[in-house]
Structure 1
């Protein structure tokens, strides 16, 4: 059976599926290249080689190294957001359970491992020089802080609602800091330590919810 149209072209659906497959190959290969070569030495050529495709294919889909790396950063952020949102949904409606789920998700090996951390810090180190990276980071970080703030508002008493945004920023900064410590000092800081100390912090700020005897 001939699966082509009368013009000799593949059906639109198949063309889209092939294009999506190529983009996925290139994005995954970009992350592997960053891990192996660093951000500066990652090029369209290294990514194409890693993906088992020609450099022309990489140029066709992403035009330039910057276009490809910007798409790769947005892709890992989207995967990260999908992961913590799934954890939040699974936690149900209880705000304490939701915040615990977010903390545990942040240090889950799926999103927080040695290779992934190397990619995050490679991109973050270039934000000053590449505005697109900073814009993507700001967008996704804003989404996460918003989600944490909504949870904190439900945990705080009525007369402390204005502190929810501040606490959300603290939690976001704290977990980022533990990511950095885990990356720079893996022998002295691991996921278990990061979770335990984050919960200890919450116990000081919200003792009625996160004191050791309430966990």
Structure 2
């Protein structure tokens, strides 16, 4: 017989406060993906998490606070993902651009529920001020980094073009294929989405990128 005093056998109600918050945030991502931003409710999130409405209200007090916490979680997760990719990339700007591109299609980030949640926060008018308040600085940091890497690669490779515009095209291409992937009848899979972004990188930097990503030169 199991020893009920063993921590491994304690009921799930013994989860820590932070674990409960994360449980509710993950449920929120799932509910947004299924119901959309406007039709997500605190009650439905609690039900999806297998918790009482009162417990959800205890942790977040309102739908608005829950949505803000969910957006913070997604933003922090996204930033940690690309920073981890850069940490193991080589020093060459092409290696670092490749790391940023590939990071956007990592399985932990590029999931149907997460893509749908991101698109909901981007696309619905009522969420735009919330998005800008919680993600604007992270977006600006990422864009400055990508601008700088494109500028370095232009100089090293002797390529023509405008680094800021190239970085912008890489970013909006990624966002565009994310939008494609979140449709109910996605026209292609994650590998093809990544290959689409590699094709753009190859068009700008043909000696450093090809159809399958970074070229060795």
Same fold (TM over 0.5): yes
Runs of at least 5 residues in structure 1 that lack an aligned partner in the other structure:
1-16
Q: Given the alignment, which residue of 92, 95, 100 partners 1:94?
A: 92
Q: Matches of 2:17 and 2:160 in 1, distance apart? A: 48
Q: Matches of 2:182 and 2:66 in 1, distance apart? A: 25
Normalized per residue, the structure richer in helix is 1
Q: What RMSD in Å do the two structures reach over aligned CA positions? A: 2.6
Q: Indicate the residue corresponding to 1:69 in structure 2.
A: 67
Q: Matches of 1:163 and 1:50 in 2, distance apart? A: 47
- Normalised TM-score (structure 1): 0.80
* C-alpha displacement of 1:160: 7.8
* C-alpha displacement of 1:205: 1.4
* C-alpha displacement of 1:81: 1.3
Of structures 1 and 2, the one scoring higher in RCO (CA 8 A, sep 6+) is 2
Runs of at least 5 residues in structure 2 that lack an aligned partner in the other structure:
1-14
Q: Matches of 1:103 and 1:32 in 2, distance apart? A: 25
Q: Indicate the residue corresponding to 2:6 in structure 1.
A: none
Relative to structure 1, the CA distance from residue 118 to residue 167 in structure 2 (aligned partners, 3 Å threshold; closer, same or farther) is same
Structure 2 residue matching 1:116: 3-state secondary structure:
helix
Q: Indicate the residue corresponding to 2:171 in structure 1.
A: 172
Decide whether the 8 Å contact of 2:209 with 2:215 is kept in 1: yes
* Segment of structure 1 superposing worse, 182-191 or 199-208: 182-191
Decide whether the 8 Å contact of 1:98 with 1:151 is kept in 2: yes
Decide whether the 8 Å contact of 1:108 with 1:191 is kept in 2: no
Relative to structure 1, the CA distance from residue 153 to residue 70 in structure 2 (aligned partners, 3 Å threshold; closer, same or farther) is same
After the TM superposition, which parts of structure 1 deviate over 3 Å for at least 4 consecutive aligned residues?
Answer: 158-162, 211-215
- Normalised TM-score (structure 2): 0.79
* C-alpha displacement of 1:161: 10
Q: Matches of 1:185 and 1:99 in 2, distance apart? A: 30
